[in-house]
Amino acid sequence: MKKKLFALLMALVMVLSLAACGGDKGGDSQQSGDSQSSGDTQQPAEGGDAATTDLKLGYDLETGISVYGPYYDEWSDMTDEQLYEQAKTEDPTITVYATSSKMMKAEEPFEEMYPGLDLVVADLDSDEVLSKAKIENETNNITADVLQTKDVNGEVFHEYYDNGVIEPFYPRDICSHIAEENLKYSYPLYSSQSFWYYNTEAFPDGQPINSWWEIIEKDDAGNQKFALYTKEIGQETAYLSLFASFIINADEMAQSYKDTYGKDLEYTYDASSFAFEVPENNAGVEYLWRFTQAKMTFIGDGDELVLAVHNSTKDQPALALASAGKIENREESGYNIDWCINLSPYTALLNTESMFVVSNCNSPAGARLFIRYITGGADGESGGLKPFTKVGNWPLRDDFVDEKNPAKLSELGARANDLVSIYDIYPDVQDMWMYWLNQ
């Protein structure tokens, strides 16, 4: 990723925000027909007319309009039955590169539901999924038909999706059950997030913080109020992207500070040490600076993070940032822990696992049939979502009953990720984090 100057970023964010207000209103999201396409020609169902569709989603320099998903094409309105009939005329082997071993549980039920098709799931890590797909695209030796991966800093969207290695598939009937903000950059399988955990025995009346600023609060003697435990944020893409979002949403961070303390934020950071331009009086940058100067204990294991909170006391309180699923230690191990929710200005960014079709794959109809299956099918009852339904994972369909989580996603205060803006400043935010952390 190329570094972008912060000044250019802020201008771009304003342009994108204004453009999105007029250009992202649902329906068929398509760019001008004269725009340069980054993808290949989509193939419609058998018997249909070929239609060239522009798959390059993002900011259209020609029209000045932001064009993102949901993107609907000839495939979007095909039923399971239509896709199945066409899939039987293709290569019957549908190969999925997945970052979750749970995807392998779909092989047998999918093949039973669709006789004659052979589902092959490769359980890989995130880097392998993307690197293998890129190499196959460059050598025109395509093996994968479907990719499952997560994008938290825009890398997948800009460097794989936007460059035609993978392409969008938005089944219109299923998308009608998913909020459009969660369809902007990809078609989701489910979302997860991280929370700050607190000790419920130490704070029986409820969470001790209501804003991000209170996490790093000091008492009148200048002592840090909470012991903080987290993974090393500079090495965690999702966490660093969250801090980048605070810089993008600086006005919200400034308002959060004023709402918390009843006065305007005082800016104390020095941006002069960086080779790139850092905006002045940015509340997100100020928060990043203050957070790096707080005392923190880095622990790589999530179970140990929440254990540290469980072992803390009211006299020596602790907070730990860990994945939502670690709440299971409350029932399994008897930990006195709970999530801090609805933090100001927002609790977290949603980390969305998404499904993509591999460009020029051997089984384009079969790939889309499987994506429909794994995300619940037309009525949400296919069974595909079952292996991924657990505490800390939230399917995004409004017609899917989530019985695993103690709260609905809408009750927790997280928001969808803005991958375009995050991507532009991510390298600079990482540099600031590392530099200030070592001061």
For the stretch 389-399, pLDDT in tens is: 999 999 999 99
pLDDT of 306 higher than 90: yes
In this structure, is the dihedral angle defined by the CA atoms of residues 160, 164, 165 and 166, taken in order, positive or negative? positive
What is the crossing angle of helices 419-437 and 6-23, to 10°?
150
CB count within 10 Å of CB 406 equals 11
Average pLDDT score over residue span 36-44: 35
Least confident piece of the model among 9-13, 214-218, 323-327: 9-13
pLDDT score at 77: 97
State the pLDDT confidence band at 62, using cuts at 50, 70 and 90: low
pLDDT score at 255: 98
The answer to whether 308 touches 297, Cβ cutoff 8 Å, is: yes
State the pLDDT confidence band at 439, using cuts at 50, 70 and 90: confident
Average pLDDT score over residue span 25-43: 35
pLDDT score at 150: 95
Burial label, 198 (beta-carbon count in 10 A; 0-12, 13-18, 19+) = buried
Q: Which residues contact 235 (CB under 8 A, 6 or more apart)?
A: none
Please give the single-letter amino acid code of residue 418: D
The answer to whether 36 touches 56, Cβ cutoff 8 Å, is: yes
State the pLDDT confidence band at 367, using cuts at 50, 70 and 90: very high
Average pLDDT score over residue span 233-240: 96
Does an H or E element contain 251, and which? helix 250-261
Least confident piece of the model among 225-239, 292-306, 308-322, 396-410: 396-410
pLDDT score at 322: 98
* Percent of the chain predicted with pLDDT > 70: 85
Least confident piece of the model among 1-5, 294-298, 405-409: 1-5
pLDDT score at 153: 96
Q: What is the helix, strand, coil percentage profile of the chain, to 5?
A: 35, 15, 45
d(CA 374, CA 368): 10
pLDDT score at 362: 97
pLDDT score at 67: 57
Per-residue pLDDT of 178-224, as tens digits, reads 999 999 999 999 999 999 999 999 999 999 999 999 999 999 999 99
Average pLDDT score over residue span 310-333: 97
pLDDT score at 63: 54
The answer to whether 233 touches 243, Cβ cutoff 8 Å, is: yes
Beta bridge partners of 349: 415
This prediction has a pTM of: 0.86
Identify which of 119, 77, 46, 27 has the alpha carbon closest to the alpha carbon of residue 378. 77
d(CA 370, CA 63): 35
Please give the single-letter amino acid code of residue 50: A
pLDDT score at 1: 43
Average pLDDT score over residue span 124-128: 94
The answer to whether 363 touches 90, Cβ cutoff 8 Å, is: yes
* Percent of the chain predicted with pLDDT > 90: 82
